[in-house]
A and B are shown apart, each in its own frame.
Chain A
Amino acid sequence: MSWEMVAGLETHVELSTKTKIFCQCTTEFGGEPNTHCCPVCIGLPGTLPKLNKAVVEYAVKAGLATNCKIRKISKMDRKNYVYPDLPKAYQISQYDKPLCEQGFITLSSGKNINITRIHIEEDAGKLVHERGDVYVDYNRGGVPLIEIVSEPDIRSIEEAIEYIEKLRLTMKYIGVSDVKMQEGSLRCDVNISVRKKGDEKFGTRTEIKNMNSLNFISKAMEYEFNRQIDILESGGEIEQETRRYNSDLNITESMRGKEDADDYRYFRDPDLVTISILDEEIQKYKESLPELPGEKLARFIDEMGLSQDDAELLTKYKKVAEYFEKASDNVENKKITANYMLGSIFRRLSTDTEKEECNIPIPPEFLNELVILTEKKKINSSMARNVLEQMLDTGKPAKSFITEKDMEGIDEDALRSICEKAIESNEKAAIQYLDGKEKAIGAIMGYIMRETKGRADAVLAKELVKQIINDKYK
């Protein structure tokens, strides 16, 4: 009998508010160690936290974008534990009254992954291990986080990855986080167990902590899935424990067992007052949300006529999607714009980061102009491709590479005579074509394009050539 994976994710997203959650320090990534710090975020005796309102706004937006209910009255709690990167020996978080609850993310299969809760909390600092010594950098301490906890609805690595990508894109779209996994602004804990297919009961789960790469998450899940199956098939039992992924060995290894599980001694933080959000505010945040990636995808398919695949590629990066929309403004067949973007342009954006930042050397208006010229048949498509390459090389508009003559086009009569001339000069190819070698026509086409410097309408020319050959040799 086959085994089934049961997984739930706890995703930490660092919010991109300008200042930290309880003080005025910058949230900017990096910086010399301990330079983005003040008495409050390093927890000096006597300091008090003051909740940054923007954090609540961002978290509510994240909740709304993931279909959550927003709790209008909530509070902050202390989660007490001792670790050198946690300067107060407690993390201010939310325990039994999270800001957002009961949401979901819809996968491309149509399946919903339910979201149990989203709560706000502060990030800890970072330990730096150098030459056998340990240092603490508190620059990240107090950066606002939301923790998005899913139900154990995930049944495969693919679902897990798609869920994270969807979540990531949503956060990016609504502008609450830059979700850069390499900078740790999105990190995941995976709760994973296995059960026999058809079983209703969950198996004992393990938790794999703190991963910030999709590749590692999928490898860790795969390893852990197989490890648990191996144990169960050899008659063993799964121990409930916390594990870490060791990327050097591609294994998960035990961090701590259930026995020494932490007792966080949660209680309401007396230094902070009740958080209350008005209906009007929730409404305001709702209205301020941009079109979400799922909605955009649907619109690209339904209204713009793109294929599912093309639409997915174009909505995967927020700035790319915005670029595409500008470039296809007033274009009738938006597939042409999509083709240009997914072809020549994407070839030049080799990395994810480049796509993320939409590093295209020409503004969308230039591409738009080119597409419209092609659509109006002012230039033919092969020429347009050529022109686009030159535009991308130089950053100049289409018109700098197209002459008046190009724009005039070639009328059918003129084209016909060029075609006739081409066939005469390539008689061998014409005969081969008649013998059934379709490809032979390429040589004739090449001649025509050289003659017309690419201005000929390739489709029309091909039609004419076929006609002439048939008339002449049959």
Chain B
Amino acid sequence: MERTFSKIKHIKKLFETKQVSCTELTSEYLDRIEEENKVLNAYIRITGEEALQTAKKVDEKIARGESLMPLEGIPMSLKDNISTNGIETTCGSNILKGYVPIYDATVWNILKNQNAVLLGKTNMDEFAMGSSCETSCFGGALNPHDTRHVAGGSSGGAASSVAGNIAVYGLGSDTGGSVRQPASFCGLVGLKPTYGTVSRYGLIAYASSLDQIGPIASCVEDAACIYDSISVYDSNDATSRGSRSKTSDKLDRSIKGMKIGVAKEFFDGIREDIKKSIEKAIKVYEDLGAEIVYFNMPQIKNVLPVYYIIACAEASSNLGRYDGIRYGYKSELYSDVNDMICKTRSEGFGKEVQRRIMLGTYVLSAGYYDAYYKKAQKLRGSIIRAFKSAFESCDVLLAPTVPTTAFELNFTSKDPIETYLTDICTVSANIAGLPALSIPCGFDDKGLPIGMQLIADSFEDAKILNAAYQYEQQMNGEIYKHCNGGEII
């Protein structure tokens, strides 16, 4: 049999051969969650009852001998900024505590129709703002590789749930690296699809022009399978375009002759051991017959300021609606409506969110718009053009995912600006709307995973999945040796 790391395939086989029922599997996951989550804090809400109900339905289907859909019966987790009808959805924020959506996000609707088994909603940085999951009002999610370290952010709960093996896969959202960075920290595969391929309808917005839902999985094949299921055109999202083709059939293709671009700027300020791991990966690609193209991309130095200006500007607008009037938290004591809104927001939002709202309000305000927002939009254009021209000579770009490995707890709260800098390698894909993937490529001396990133042109999601899969197969499980990648439960 071919070498596979796919948990999804493995589970499907167990179902087919009646070695395990969906209910048994779900119960086992729920039991494990009860144990592990006390430590990992990956989940902020567990939906055991719903999970078992779905599992029962799947078992009935299996008993009737019906074939299962790709993700049917697979236990999974959803980041808590994805709306789930009837299930509290808080974005890791006090301001949304008690908010129960009355509609489903499109991605959840798709998965629900596939009888995906939702185990719970995962922890996240408040409103997806952060790189360590520590801005969550529920406290941070921990890294299963070493619980003195964070799982990363903002989709830290999703990564922790998969790496801790208390979910087969998780859906996160990536605005500036929030799927790829925690995947990198937790030794997993994280995919940020092309902007517009996965519907944002029901994803509680942080920065609308950058946000994209993506899977965090234990291997490339699983990520591709999830991507194929959720990248469907959705008329409820005006920016939705769906995907061009199924990516999972294209994993096996040889990458001989594929041109892999390496821009030097992605390596400025990167930790030495991480640089080394990436260089090793580049060697692997050369062995696979890929051609490495070195080039310069000076626009990379602009990506962080551009990202923080645009993301904060959009966030200041998107988060204006949390005023205590219709749902969520409302301050108890106030004198009039303005005072009520002011107190609700001051008490309900955490520091990081307040910081970004104020930054965004500032860069959009009348006297500063041209100097900041307008300029950032211009630079955004130049970054997009730089990528376009890069993809004229390469198929995919290869870069580190994060300049470091998982932070120690409480590291990020000491210096927010220092933390912003760690997004340097991930944000450009969001600015340009490109697909990007993080895959483990080694470990540091503490045994913490190192991630490498592949970026492709718009709608070339299949290309990076193919390149990543080829690397994964070539490494023959080496990259997952400390992870739970190949095992079930």
Which residues does A use to contact B, with CB under 8 Å? Answer: 39, 42-51, 78, 80, 82, 84, 87-90, 134, 136, 263, 265, 267, 270-273
Contacts and interface: CB of A to CB of B under 8 A. Distances in A.
Interface in B230-266: 235-239
B1 interface: no
B326 A87 contact: yes
A127 B320 CA distance: 19
Given A45-B83, A48-B201, A265 B365 contact: yes
B222 interface: no
Given A46-B105, A50-B238, A89-B317, A265 B361 contact: yes
Contact of A45 (B204, B235, B317, B364): B204
A136 B325 contact: yes
Q: Is the interface of A mostly helix, strand, loop or mixed?
A: loop
Interface residues of B, number: 44
6 contacts: A42-B326, A45-B205, A46-B204, A87-B326, A271-B208, A271-B237
Contacts of A45: 83, 89, 91, 96, 99, 101, 204-205, 321-322
Given A48-B200, A265-B364, 13 more contacts: A42-B326, A45-B89, A46-B202, A48-B201, A50-B238, A80-B317, A89-B317, A90-B317, A90-B320, A136-B325, A265-B369, A270-B314, A273-B238
B321 A89 contact: yes
Which of A39, A88, A263, A265 has the most CB atoms of chain B within a 10 A radius of its CB? A265
B102 interface: yes
B317 A46 contact: no
Given A265-B364, A271-B208, A48 B321 contact: no
A42 B102 CA distance: 12
B208 to A, nearest CB: 4
A47 B320 contact: no
A153 B203 CA distance: 47
Contact of A48 (B236, B364, B369): B236
Interface of B: 81-83, 89, 91, 96, 99, 101-103, 105, 200-205, 207-209, 235-239, 313-314, 316-317, 320-323, 325-327, 337, 341, 361, 364-366, 369, 373
Contacts of B205: 45-46, 271
Contacts of A134: 337
A75 to B, nearest CB: 12
Contacts of B323: 82, 84, 89
Given A47-B201, A50-B236, A271-B208, A39 B102 contact: yes
Given A45-B99, A50-B238, A89-B323, A267 B373 contact: yes
Nearest to B96: A45
A43 B320 CA distance: 11
Contacts of B201: 46-48
Nearest to B237: A48
Contact of B235 (A42, A50, A265): A50
Nearest to B202: A46
B103 A80 contact: no
Which of A43, A44, A45, A265 has the most CB atoms of chain B within a 10 A radius of its CB? A45
A68 B370 CA distance: 30
Contacts of A271: 205, 208, 237-239
Contacts of A82: 320, 323, 341
A267 B364 contact: yes
A39 B103 contact: yes
B101 A265 contact: no
B310 to A, nearest CB: 9
Contacts of A44: 83, 101-103, 327
Given A46-B204, A48-B200, A270-B208, A265 B239 contact: no
A217 B181 CA distance: 60
Nearest to A261: B366
A89 B323 CA distance: 9
Given A46-B105, A46-B201, A80 B364 contact: yes
Given A82-B341, A89-B321, A48 B238 contact: yes
A450 B91 CA distance: 90
A50 B238 CA distance: 6
Contacts of B208: 270-271
Nearest to B320: A89
B317 A272 contact: no
B367 to A, nearest CB: 9
A90 B323 CA distance: 13
A51 B361 CA distance: 26
A46 B80 CA distance: 12
A49 B238 contact: yes
A80 B323 CA distance: 14
A136 B327 CA distance: 13
A351 B49 CA distance: 63
Contacts of B365: 263, 265
A78 B369 CA distance: 14
Contacts of A43: 321
A265 B315 CA distance: 13
B369 to A, nearest CB: 8
Contacts of B102: 39, 44
Contacts of A48: 200-201, 236-238
A271 B200 CA distance: 9
Nearest to A39: B103
A57 B218 CA distance: 49
